Amino acid sequence: MALHESRYRGLLGWFDSRMPSVMIAFRAHMSEYYAPKNFNFWYFFGSLALVVLVIQLVSGAFLAMHYKPDANSAFWSVEFIMREVSGGWFIRYMHSTGASFFFIVVYLHIFRGMLYGSYKKPRELVWLVGSCIFLALMAESFFGYLLPWGQMSFWGAQVIINLFDSIPVIGPDLSTWIRGDFVIGDATLNRFFAMHTMMIPTILMGLMGAHIFALHDVGSNNPDGVEIKDHLGPDGHPLDGIPFHPYYTVHDMYGIGVFLIAFFAVVFFAPEMGGVFLEGNNFIPADPFQTPLHIAPLWYFTPYYSILRATTAGFLPFIAAGVLGYGVLTYFTVRLMQVRIAVAAVTAVLLALLVGPTHLDAKLWGVALMGASTTILFILPWLDRSPVRSMRYRPVWHRGVLGLFVVAFFVLGVLGMLPPNPGRTVISQICTGIYFGYFLLMPWWSRMGDFLPVPDRVRFAAH
Amino acid sequence: MKSPACTACPAIPGHVRGHAKEPPQSCTPAPALRMRLVAICLALLAGVALAPMAGAQEASLDHWPTERTSDPAALQRGARLFVNYCLNCHGASQMRWNRLRDIGLDETQIKSQLIFSGQKVGEMMTVAMNPRDAKVWFGKAPPDLSVIIRARNTEEHHGTDYVYTLLRSFYRDRSTLTGWNNAVYPNIAMPNILWQRQGPRVATITHVEWEERPAADGKSGPERVLTKSVNVFDADGYLTTTKTVVADGSPETSVAFAPSDPKAAAAVDDEVADLVAFLNWMSEPGAATRYRIGIWVMGFLVIFLLCVRWLNKVYWRDIK
């Protein structure tokens, strides 16, 4: 069979004429993928997430060469890595710091999407796949945190797995199935190791690929929320688009340079980050007979943990009032009769389960709200009814609403790290209300106010 | 050498630990958001959320003299104390004897002056005590000390300060199994291992706390009164308690030790500081290397950053 006629010469030409798919993919996703030229600071975090993923995969592989997933030796095998393995401390600190930086980067990446309406049509699938990545990332970090087999690893996993216990009917069996035993033990550690090193990373990589494919099919959004494909030049490429490679590869390299300085400053000078990235309690081997005084999950889970703790029996009537108000609001603002009936039915069922004689335990509601707080991201594209994408052309007070949401999220995160007290519980309840209110009321508030005219082309000042 | 005993309260004779808790401070962050309303909400939330944090502080700990972190003489003295006093019950199962070369000892010194158990220099610093026996003898197996300083790190205090204060807070108490108790870790299973060097001490533990008492008229509900209880443990561990109602003040706990031989007690304070220096080094023997390499890595990354910044600038010149 004849060779493929290559457009390249030399070694690359030899290669390309035998396996053209590589260069076809390179052109489609790099050198001939046109990205808007007006990306700003917030657009660094997508490529940074990829960088952190690579750091985690590589450092994780080297850790797995020395780590022993065995309840009797896991803790000390980590300490063995820290002391006896050449450069082991470096690999381990990269991995532990990388976990926290993954979440920092991903939270900022999600915030970017919310700021510029990146999830809006036609990019809903990009957002949905991204939300799946976020869930997979949380699973990955949950499984991984058990592996050092310290006190916090053990008791953190204990708290989370016990949450499944509260699910009616299947709960106890489900939690036993997750543990592989009636208590957290060797079987749990082994399966968490398998999940952390094989199952979830594979899923994560697949989802990352899907995220990028979905993005490249519809094209990137930009800070102005303008569709660059609406204005094509004579060559058929967007007038405001520039090839991703080399322009954004060099641009992202610059971002990566700054990122690496921050990352390695932590790795080398503050790997414990004052007990936030590596907790003191986790330098004590797991002891099933000694519960630590204060159990807190790692910082990136604390906002959701706060929502769980905020859902006390006393909070249920307030949730019921919220559900009732929301039901009434929806009932009187939708036109379709079928939808109205459905809304009324759902509201009635929720009220019965919240405050009726058949009401469910507050703990279960806490678990449900915690689950909802992470999965609500999935429906964001359909909640936002704003006629424009970018915050730049929305009413100024929309920024305040987003800001309030960010503050509530941050406060929930801080409170989740602290032991609860009555005052803090009230604050976390208020913030839980703000958190859900932001999303659930979005169909109404997102189209209120005076929107600015969106320009035809992106705004860009040459560097 | 100057005594490392509590420098915060030099006016009080003997060693005095524990200071009145600071009043809760309200924390008002600078408004960072454009909308004033949001800023006010933030300030209120943060103020209410963080105020109890300052109030819930634990009894204050003494500060371990951090200048001993990388002082080879202190580390070597600490190693000697560790081997003589700790390494009978507590192991350091992650420490290899010959790693002590990192603190300036050579193998001959390690073999002749530190290894008493006939172990080889490449072996780990383990103990012969069986953890099961230890549990019978002390009620709890002595923890391995390889990473003990890091294990005692919390967001409020550093592990070095905790261990430094703990080891100097033992007092005689007739009511416990070992005859020893500890002001930092009440009912500790461990006896005061340095007692012969330290000499007898009288401990005075003062609690000022709110207490509920039936009202004087016997009709209305219980009233809250601030009581001050002074518990004096004499050198033989006999307790005398005097309880008084105080008119004003705030809840606090303070501990004071009156050694009968202040010179010996001060010398032990100094020794414990060395011992903690060694424990701290042992918690992460590679820490010094980490810092040293880190500076080179930072240097490289700054040069890398300048290069990619220039590259970015050159490429983006054609984008108008």
Q: What is the pLDDT of residue B4?
A: 38
Q: Hey, which residues 429-448 in chain A have their CB within 8 Å of chain B?
A: 430-431
Reported as a single tens digit per residue, the pLDDT across A381-394 is 999 999 999 999 99
Would you place residue B19 in the very low, low, confident or very high pLDDT band (cuts 50, 70, 90)?
Answer: very low
DSSP string for residues in B122-159: TSEE--S--HHHHHHHHSSPPPP-TTHHHHT--SSS-H
**Contact between chains at A415 and B143 (C-beta distance less than 8 A):** no
**Contact between chains at B155 and A275 (C-beta distance less than 8 A):** yes
**Contact between chains at B319 and A415 (C-beta distance less than 8 A):** no
Percent of the residues in chain A that have a pLDDT greater than 90, as a whole number = 92
Closest residue in B to A38 (Cα) is: B319
Q: How far is CA A241 from CA A36, A39, A112, B316, in A?
A: 4, 10, 20, 13
Reported as a single tens digit per residue, the pLDDT across B111-157 is 999 998 889 999 999 998 888 998 888 888 999 999 999 999 988 89
**Contact between chains at B52 and A399 (C-beta distance less than 8 A):** no
- Residues of chain B contacting A423 with CB distance shorter than 8 Å: 48-49, 52
Would you place residue B189 in the very low, low, confident or very high pLDDT band (cuts 50, 70, 90)?
Answer: very high
- Residues of chain B contacting A84 with CB distance shorter than 8 Å: 96
Cβ of residue A331 closer than 8 Å to a chain B Cβ: no
Mutation for testing the B interface, residue in A66, A89, A250, A269 having most B CBs under 10 Å: A250
What is chain A's mean pLDDT, rounded?
95
Report the pLDDT averaged over residues B94-111: 94
Report the pLDDT averaged over residues A133-160: 96
As beta bridge partners, residue A164 has: none
Reported as a single tens digit per residue, the pLDDT across A72-119 is 999 999 999 999 999 999 999 999 999 999 999 999 999 999 999 999
Q: Is the pLDDT of residue B17 over 70?
A: no
Cβ of residue A462 closer than 8 Å to a chain B Cβ: yes
Reported as a single tens digit per residue, the pLDDT across B210-227 is 888 777 666 677 788 889
**Contact between chains at A80 and B94 (C-beta distance less than 8 A):** yes
**Contact between chains at A407 and B38 (C-beta distance less than 8 A):** yes
Percent of the residues in chain B that have a pLDDT greater than 70, as a whole number = 80
**Contact between chains at B49 and A414 (C-beta distance less than 8 A):** yes
Asked which of A205-209, A254-258, B29-33, B82-86 is least confident by mean pLDDT, the reply is B29-33
Question: Would you say A320 and A180 are in contact if contact means Cβ atoms under 8 Å apart?
Answer: no
Q: Is the pLDDT of residue B233 over 60?
A: yes
Q: What is the pLDDT of residue A463?
A: 66
Q: What is the pLDDT of residue B131?
A: 87
Report the pLDDT averaged over residues B46-74: 69
Q: How far is CA A382 from CA A90, A214, A243, in A?
A: 44, 18, 31
Reported as a single tens digit per residue, the pLDDT across B301-310 is 999 999 999 9
Helices A186-194, A124-146: crossing angle, 10 deg rounding: 140
A338 to chain B, minimum CA–CA distance in Å?
39
**Contact between chains at A264 and B147 (C-beta distance less than 8 A):** no
Report the pLDDT averaged over residues A23-40: 95
Q: Is the pLDDT of residue A246 over 70?
A: yes
Q: Which helix (H) or strand (E) holds A241?
A: strand A241-243
B236 to chain A, minimum CA–CA distance in Å?
33
Q: What is the pLDDT of residue A1?
A: 61
Reported as a single tens digit per residue, the pLDDT across A292-347 is 988 889 999 999 999 999 999 999 999 999 999 999 999 999 989 999 999 999 99
Q: Is the pLDDT of residue B57 over 70?
A: no
**Contact between chains at A463 and B35 (C-beta distance less than 8 A):** no
A13 to chain B, minimum CA–CA distance in Å?
26
Report the pLDDT averaged over residues B276-297: 96
Cβ of residue A275 closer than 8 Å to a chain B Cβ: yes
Cβ of residue A273 closer than 8 Å to a chain B Cβ: no
DSSP string for residues in A30-92: IIT-EEETT--GGGGHHHHHHHHHHHHHHHHHHHHTT----TTTHHHHHHHHHHTSTTHHHHH
- Residues of chain A contacting B154 with CB distance shorter than 8 Å: 275, 280-281
Beta strand extents in chain B (DSSP E only): 15-17, 92-96, 124-125, 170-172, 180-182, 201-213, 223-233, 239-245, 252-259
DSSP string for residues in A361-396: PHHHHHHHHHHHHHHGGGGHHHH---SSSSGGGS-H
Cβ of residue A76 closer than 8 Å to a chain B Cβ: yes
Q: Is the pLDDT of residue A142 over 90?
A: yes
Q: What is the pLDDT of residue B48?
A: 46
A351 to chain B, minimum CA–CA distance in Å?
29
A63 to chain B, minimum CA–CA distance in Å?
17
Fill in the DSSP letter of residue A170: T
**Contact between chains at B298 and A82 (C-beta distance less than 8 A):** no
- Residues of chain B contacting A272 with CB distance shorter than 8 Å: 150, 153
B101 to chain A, minimum CA–CA distance in Å?
14
A209 to chain B, minimum CA–CA distance in Å?
26
Can you tell me the distance from the alpha carbon of A293 to that of B246, in angstroms, rounded to the nearest whole number?
Answer: 31
**Contact between chains at B42 and A76 (C-beta distance less than 8 A):** no
Q: What is the pLDDT of residue A235?
A: 92
Tokens of B254: 């303070």
Report how many Cβ contacts below 8 Å link chain A to chain B: 144
Closest residue in B to A85 (Cα) is: B286
What is chain B's mean pLDDT, rounded?
83
Closest residue in B to A86 (Cα) is: B286
Mutation for testing the A interface, residue in B41, B99, B306, B313 having most A CBs under 10 Å: B41
DSSP string for residues in A84-128: TSTTHHHHHHHHHHHHHHHHHHHHHHHHHHHHHTTTSTT-HHHHH
Cβ of residue A309 closer than 8 Å to a chain B Cβ: no
**Contact between chains at A411 and B46 (C-beta distance less than 8 A):** yes
Closest residue in A to B147 (Cα) is: A283
Q: Is the pLDDT of residue B14 over 80?
A: no
Closest residue in B to A273 (Cα) is: B155
**Contact between chains at A280 and B143 (C-beta distance less than 8 A):** no
AA identity, residue A112: R
Mutation for testing the A interface, residue in B307, B315, B318, B320 having most A CBs under 10 Å: B315
Q: Is the pLDDT of residue B54 over 50?
A: no
**Contact between chains at A37 and B34 (C-beta distance less than 8 A):** no
B184 to chain A, minimum CA–CA distance in Å?
16
Q: What is the pLDDT of residue B59?
A: 60
- Other Cβ atoms less than 10 A from the Cβ of A342: the count is 14
